[in-house]
Amino acid sequence: MGLVFLRESSGKTRYLMVFSPSFYLARNSWLLPHWGASHNGMMECVMSLVGPNAPFSEDVPLEDGEVVKEIDEDKRRDTTQRLRQGKYDKKVVILKDLKNSDGNFSEKQKIELNKLLQIDYYNLTKFYGTVKIDTMIFGVIEYCERGSLRDVLNDKISYPDGTFMDWEFKISVLYDIAKGMSYLHSSKTEVHGRLKSTNCVVDNRMVVKITDFGCNSILPPRKDLWTAPEHLRHADVSQKGDVYSYGIIAQEIILRRETFYTGHCRDNREKLYRVESGKGAKPFRPDLTLETVGERQMEVYTLVKSCWEEDPEKRPDFKKIESTLAKIFSNFHGQTNESYMDTLIRRLQLYSRNLEHLVEERTELYKAERDRADRLNFMLLPRPVVKSLKETGLVEPELFEEVTIYFSDIVGFTTLCRYSTPMEVVDMLNDIYKNFDHILDHHDVYKVETIGDAYMVVSGLPKRNGNRHAVDISMMALDILSFMGSFELRHLPGLPVWIRIGIHSGPCAAGVVGIKMPRYCLFGDTVNTASRMESTGLRKDLILAVSVTGPQAIALRIHVSGSTINILKRTDCQFQYEERGETYLKGRGTEITYWLTGTEDKKYNLPTPPSVENQQRLQDDLAEMITNSLQKRENEGSKAQELSRVGSYRSGTLEYLQLVSTDDFTTYV
């Protein structure tokens, strides 16, 4: 064994483990002038890696060890190996972890690795040697661009049945694997030991190559669905065991189903147990029905089933499998009266047509995904803002001379939360705001945000609409208040739910704030005043001394500022309103405000607002009313909300999972 030290002019040293120095030097003659023995007997090569022929002159991925692509992605569940990409001699290679931290291989392991170096065949991936990165030893193996055969079989869009992966192509894939295994069994390596569809890789010319062979003394095979029954019972490797694994792969290719597909069993552990036990009238094997196949397929099916024989001696060797498939392949062309060139041209035409169809299909998929992403963006940000972000990546802040802003919240929300579980609070807000959102769809308004129980809407931006902003907000507020008159909590039936609404009009600035989770925000005194209209409702001389969350507005009423009423007067819409009188607004002083009560041309089923005394009584007795509602629910024998559906976006509604169903009739989890 030799360990090549490749030392750069910068002083950094890299390593290449070579198990046959004479063989390696014969293939890398540029190292000969620099080859010598170090003081400890280790072969050392000291040079500057600046020449064009230096094998690691472009091996940055090897140095930082970055994982670029796993050959088998997540489907390779039978191994813990993490395959990495690197560059060797200007070629992309795969780095396979050999689970060795010091490079001290046994004599048997060195011989086995030297055998791999001597294998060079069209249907086998090339093994270049080993390399040490940090404290890990990796095998350097040829890279195939299309990934594993399992990936190709799973991708029915890029490689569809009928046009691309027809019966002729499947036979050629089986033939490629058989040729590779036939050569491997006749070589000094003699046996694969880990043959499976994830260890058959496909290059850019659609040639199937076998990889991950040998090294059985370094990386012992593990039991999986490709393992022969005799090796499930007694861990070992053999050529006949490889034939059994080939039969399992053949069924995957023919049916394009999951590994070891059978309609009688879907659990992999049960499959392994039934194969290993060998119980039953006949051995347990994957589905491959002979009754429904044609004459062409019958010979291949029979060959595959012979590879599954329980007795290893009854299984054919790969020489016989290769010759049988060669005969089938030859007869296939003889029956079609096509030359190999005719077949090649025909397949190229099919592939070309399939590519055109695939491009059209992928384009449609792209357009559908783009439209879905746009719809999602339009739900989060205004349409002009999304367009600006897509085109320029920026959104300039804009001043709007006149807009109308709506605020609302729930009276006694803090107390409701105290007597409800978190999921019941979420359900309550979702039930309310889902219906609010449906109401918004019928008006020219933009929902700005919801924070807890606060609901904020604006009209007049980002698209200016003249005086319509005050009209649309007012009509929306009447629709919302009408809905709240009939709303009932699911977890607290019979408990009244009151909201407060405030509306104000004036100038406002708007823009996107932040980089992460960008939000379209409003700025200016108009925003503050609209919030005050919602939160400050009583005349200064009637502010209650005791309340739930501070000075409360009269519930179930729409509190409107004078500026909004002035705009409504300029329109053709006949709104009904009452002057409330002078109202103190924090930060603005005393102003004349109004109650919006309806319109002349439409009848709204608005709830009757409570008197000041009734509202005070609700605030004082809310906790007791909730307790009574819970007691009533217990007496009626109703349980806590059942385990329900997980949130679904496809149905257009969002539902939540209730965490418990308990006999203890309380809303606490």
Residue 462, preceding bond cis, omega within 30 degrees? yes
User: How many residues would you count in the chain?
Assistant: 669
- CA angle at 651 for the pair 645 and 654, rounded to the nearest 5°: 55
- CA angle at 666 for the pair 663 and 669, rounded to the nearest 5°: 85
pLDDT of res. 519 = 82
Residues 326 and 410 occupy one common structural domain: no
Last residue in a domain, options 312, 337, 362: 337
For 549-559, letters b (16+ CB in 10 Å) and e give eebbbbbbbbb
**Which range (47-56, 84-93, 99-108, 508-517) has the least confidence?**
47-56
Residue 466 reports pLDDT greater than 90: no
Residues 260 and 136 occupy one common structural domain: yes
Can you state the percent helix, strand and coil of the chain, rounding each to 5?
Answer: 40, 20, 40
Residues 443 and 310 occupy one common structural domain: no
Render pLDDT for 162-215 as a digit per residue (tens, 0 to 9): 767 788 889 989 999 999 999 999 999 899 999 999 999 998 888 899 999 988
Own/partner pairs, 388-396, CB within 8 angstroms, 24+ separation:
389/512, 389/518, 395/511, 395/512, 396/511
The structure tokens 């041209």 sit at 345
Which string of DSSP letters, residue by residue, matches 281-298? Answer: SS-------STT--HHHH
**Residue 322 to residue 303: CA distance in whole angstroms:** 11
Q: Quick one: average pLDDT of 227-249?
A: 94
Last residue in a domain, options 337, 356, 381: 337
**Residue 304 to residue 648: CA distance in whole angstroms:** 45
Residue 552 lies in a domain: yes
Q: Are 646 and 657 in contact (CB under 8 A)?
A: yes
Banded pLDDT at 544 (limits 50, 70, 90): very low
**Residue 140 to residue 128: CA distance in whole angstroms:** 5
* Inter-axis angle of helices 318-336 and 295-306, nearest 10: 170
**Which range (7-21, 240-254, 348-362) has the least confidence?**
7-21
Residue 653 lies in a domain: no
Distances (CA, A) of 216 to 112, 192, 294: 8, 8, 40
Identify the CATH number of the domain in which residue 533 sits. Answer: 3.30.70.1230
Q: Are 301 and 290 in contact (CB under 8 A)?
A: yes
Residue 19 lies in a domain: no
**Residue 459 to residue 471: CA distance in whole angstroms:** 9
Residue 375 lies in a domain: no
Question: Using CA of residue 630, residue 635, residue 640, residue 644, what is the dihedral sign?
Answer: negative
Residue 617 lies in a domain: yes
Residues 418 and 534 occupy one common structural domain: yes
Residues 538 and 422 occupy one common structural domain: yes
Residues 619 and 534 occupy one common structural domain: yes
Residues 446 and 300 occupy one common structural domain: no
Who wins on pLDDT, 634 or 68? 634
Residue 549 reports pLDDT greater than 80: no
Residue 275 lies in a domain: yes
Banded pLDDT at 618 (limits 50, 70, 90): low
**Which range (16-20, 91-95, 112-116) has the least confidence?**
16-20
SS3 string of 520-535? Answer: EEEECHHHHHHHHHHH
Residues 301 and 181 occupy one common structural domain: yes
H or E element, residue 431:
helix 422-440
H or E element, residue 616:
helix 612-635
Tally of domains within the chain: 2
Residues 313 and 406 occupy one common structural domain: no
pLDDT of res. 323 = 92
Residue 578 lies in a domain: yes
Q: Which domain holds residue 228?
A: 58-337
Torsion of CA 465, 469, 471, 472, to 10 degrees: 100
Which string of DSSP letters, residue by residue, matches 104-120? Answer: ---HHHHHHHHHHHT--
pLDDT of res. 649 = 31
Residues 253 and 184 occupy one common structural domain: yes
Residues 279 and 411 occupy one common structural domain: no
**Residue 468 to residue 473: CA distance in whole angstroms:** 8
Identify the CATH number of the domain in which residue 197 sits. Answer: 1.10.510.10
Which string of DSSP letters, residue by residue, matches 64-75? Answer: HT-----SSGGG
pLDDT of res. 463 = 85
Residues 418 and 275 occupy one common structural domain: no
pLDDT of res. 174 = 94
Residue 410 lies in a domain: yes
